[in-house]
Amino acid sequence: MQARELVVVHRAAIRRVAGSHGVAEIRWWPPAEDEDASVDFLVDGGLDCLRALRLDLERELGCRVAIYLADRAPDQVLEVAHELADPDRRGGA
């Protein structure tokens, strides 16, 4: 399964895991959308433990995960990152 599919299928679980680690916002960042090897995320907010978050997301998704801090990411990365907000709260988008 490609990264995009993993993120769509597991959106609620990703948000649940992130929230359990104190993450206020998590966004999917596809540096190489066709790459099956890993899923990259940008996180914002009071993160409890970066390593524990990564391990829990890897367990949930069944693939490697990379975590980047949004406040340290270049603007061009933030522009292409995809929000993982609940689609029901955004009018179904």
3-87 to CATH, choices 3.30.460.10, 3.40.50.11240, 3.60.40.10, 3.40.50.10420: 3.30.460.10
Phi/psi of residue 62, nearest 5 degrees: 75, 25
CB 25 within 8 A of CB 43: yes
- Tens-digit pLDDT profile for residues 20-61: 999 988 988 776 655 566 888 989 877 778 899 999 999 999
Predicted TM-score of the model (pTM): 0.75
Between 52 and 5, name the one with better pLDDT: 52
Between 61 and 80, name the one with better pLDDT: 61
For position 93, what pLDDT does the model report? Answer: 34
Whole-number percent of the chain with pLDDT over 70: 76
Alpha helices in 26-74 (DSSP H): 50-61
